Amino acid sequence: MPDHDAIIIGAGFSGLYQLHRLRELGMSARVFEAGGDVGGTWYWNRYPGARCDIETIEYSYSFDPELEQEWEWRERYAAQPELLSYAQHVAERYDLRADITFNTRVEALDWDDEADEWTVTTDDGARCTARYVIAATGCLSVPSKPEFEGREDFAGEQYWTSSWPHEGVDLSGKRVAVIGTGSSGLQTITAIAPEVRSLVVFQRTPSYAIPARNGPIEDRLREVKTRYPEFRELSRMAKVGMQCGEENTQYYVDSDPDTVQRELERRWLDGGLCYTQTFRDILMDAEANEAASEHVRRQIREKVHDPELAQKLTPVSYPVGSKRMCVDTGYFETYNRENVSLVDINDEPIRRITRRGIVAGDTEHEVDVIIFATGFDAMTGALNAIDVRSGGTTLREKWADGPRTYLGLMSAGFPNLFMITGPQSPSVLSNMMTSIEYHVDWVTDALRHLRDRGKRRMEPDLAAEDNWVNTTNDVADLTLMPSAASWYMGANIPGKKRVFMPFVGGVGTYKQVCDGIAVSHYNGFELV
């Protein structure tokens, strides 16, 4: 018999909930977590201004009505400390820490085809066995740390937003450089600009950012709490796993110019990531997208006083929504400050880092601190960082030309290895909480099904997997999403195969597919 029924990798929101569900099932489970506490994303990303870009009313667990009622979110978008304390509260409330081993990274998984079990090796050299492994490893958990020549020569301080020091960093009065203008860069830049002496931002690609319109949500939270079950059900069936006001039914192509401008303006004033839901065809039709993209560009030009600077900050090379949009609070206005400047590294490439700062083009920018906000090896990074072996091959080899999964839940040839929000599921294109809970529930139901029928092994058929991979690619090709060099495509990692990784067909549709497969006794899976 294996040491555990299941090993769960990661104690973020996925791992915590999975542990809770397996306990309900009466299964023994151990969680290995690389960090020193629970929280995953919100444990590591403690940089100034770190905040969720999904509304807290949606970005929270729905599995326990009591938890739903007792937790009081303060703002429309929670800041990192509040999200971390929520994860800690959940760990305490359900006594989860007892089954979590912290500061321990899983390095290898080895499938024993005779015994039907995984051997799990951790970075302290220890090994244990488990019937099932559930990778709750997160989609944005492996930082991308690009090489910059001379980095080791720099005499000042260097930080990554993705592993910000827990004790915090005093940046007041310092000369600071930030490299990267995705969500993490934007939030950091906006937060630190008022306190630093000078801030120079190195931008490779400008971001589309939609105002957060953040603020207290006391009244709305009180109202939603009176009808949370029905509210959650709507989110589960919505395209992006959260509600974007009334679900839109309008198409740009059917709308007159006045309606287009009025609706885009309305969404802009609402704020947040629902912006691309204004019309159903924004992510599918180039002309519709251009109208929305241009609307954002106009706002940027209005916010930034210096026209030349505004132009550099304005995204033109890709459609809005095809790279992850940002949700901001005064980001563009930050560039109107005297102490903030921008270097477009397409015009002035970063040549090297020196003892004193960063050389871009012909200029040496002298700084005391460099902050890297350079993103993550998204979606496949965490699993590929583990040496996963089965039947003489590795998952890394199998995925060399891009991930191959059935439903983003399992990969053929790797039995009993489940993924929470794996590639080819909606994951990063959705409210992660909705997707996490759905996957954890689906996996838990599958494990119950196996147990109740005296089976102990589950694996997708290759044909079903091929079919799903083709489906996800076909659906992506119907949209404008693959046209940008995004981390959805793996384009931010040198040498990574460019494949559109998430399932873009919508959370509600995906749920219907997966529910149907479960009901049909796991059609496309082999249960032994």
Burial 93-119 (b: 16+ CB within 10 A, else e): ebebbebbbeebebebbebeeeebbbb
Residue, CB closest to ligand NA7? 182
Q: Which two tokens stand for residue 22?
A: 């397996």
State in angstroms the smallest separation of the CB of 200 from ligand NA7: 13
The nearer residue to ligand NA7, 322 or 444, going by C-beta atoms, is 322
The nearer residue to ligand NA7, 224 or 485, going by C-beta atoms, is 485
The nearer residue to ligand NA7, 112 or 149, going by C-beta atoms, is 149
State in angstroms the smallest separation of the CB of 187 from ligand NA7: 8
Q: What are phi and psi of 33, to 5 degrees?
A: -130, 130
State in angstroms the smallest separation of the CB of 442 from ligand NA7: 23
The Cα–Cα gap between 387 and 393 comes to: 10
Q: Which two tokens stand for residue 63?
A: 């599995």
State in angstroms the smallest separation of the CB of 489 from ligand NA7: 10
* Coil/strand/helix, residue 364: strand
Maximum distance among all alpha carbons in the chain? 69
State in angstroms the smallest separation of the CB of 371 from ligand NA7: 11
The Cα–Cα gap between 422 and 395 comes to: 13
The nearer residue to ligand NA7, 60 or 119, going by C-beta atoms, is 60
The nearer residue to ligand NA7, 392 or 494, going by C-beta atoms, is 494
Count other Cβ atoms within 10 Å, centred on residue 470.
10
The Cα–Cα gap between 100 and 91 comes to: 10
Q: Which two tokens stand for residue 298?
A: 């106009």
The Cα–Cα gap between 499 and 288 comes to: 24
Q: DSSP secondary structure string, 379-415?
A: TTHHHHTSEEEETTEEHHHHTTTS---BTTTB-TT-T
C-beta separation of 409 from 468 below 8 A: no
The Cα–Cα gap between 278 and 247 comes to: 9
Of all helices (H) and strands (E), which one includes residue 341? strand 340-344
* Three-point CA angle 458, 119, 428, nearest 5°: 60
Count other Cβ atoms within 10 Å, centred on residue 267.
23
Q: Which two tokens stand for residue 61?
A: 């667990």
The nearer residue to ligand NA7, 140 or 446, going by C-beta atoms, is 140
State in angstroms the smallest separation of the CB of 179 from ligand NA7: 5
Binding site for ligand NA7 (CB under 6 A): 53, 140, 146, 179-185, 204-205, 324, 345, 373-376, 487, 492
Quickly tell me which residue has 């709308």 as its tokens.
Answer: 255
Length of the chain (residues): 528
The nearer residue to ligand NA7, 335 or 376, going by C-beta atoms, is 376
State in angstroms the smallest separation of the CB of 284 from ligand NA7: 21
**Where do runs of H (alpha helix) occur along 248-380?**
257-270, 286-303, 307-313, 331-334
The nearer residue to ligand NA7, 322 or 492, going by C-beta atoms, is 492
The nearer residue to ligand NA7, 375 or 413, going by C-beta atoms, is 375
Angle in degrees, 0-180, between the axes of helices 507-519 and 432-452, rounded to the nearest 10: 0
Mention every residue, 6+ apart, whose C-beta is less than 8 A from residue 402: 490, 497, 498, 499, 501
State in angstroms the smallest separation of the CB of 457 from ligand NA7: 35
The Cα–Cα gap between 124 and 109 comes to: 14
State in angstroms the smallest separation of the CB of 191 from ligand NA7: 13
The nearer residue to ligand NA7, 373 or 446, going by C-beta atoms, is 373
State in angstroms the smallest separation of the CB of 318 from ligand NA7: 9
The nearer residue to ligand NA7, 86 or 487, going by C-beta atoms, is 487
State in angstroms the smallest separation of the CB of 89 from ligand NA7: 22
The Cα–Cα gap between 455 and 223 comes to: 45
The nearer residue to ligand NA7, 232 or 324, going by C-beta atoms, is 324
State in angstroms the smallest separation of the CB of 180 from ligand NA7: 3
The nearer residue to ligand NA7, 205 or 322, going by C-beta atoms, is 205
Count other Cβ atoms within 10 Å, centred on residue 466.
14
The Cα–Cα gap between 324 and 320 comes to: 9
State in angstroms the smallest separation of the CB of 186 from ligand NA7: 7
State in angstroms the smallest separation of the CB of 8 from ligand NA7: 23
C-beta separation of 396 from 152 below 8 A: no
The nearer residue to ligand NA7, 177 or 386, going by C-beta atoms, is 177
Distance of CA 355 to the CA centre of its chain: 34
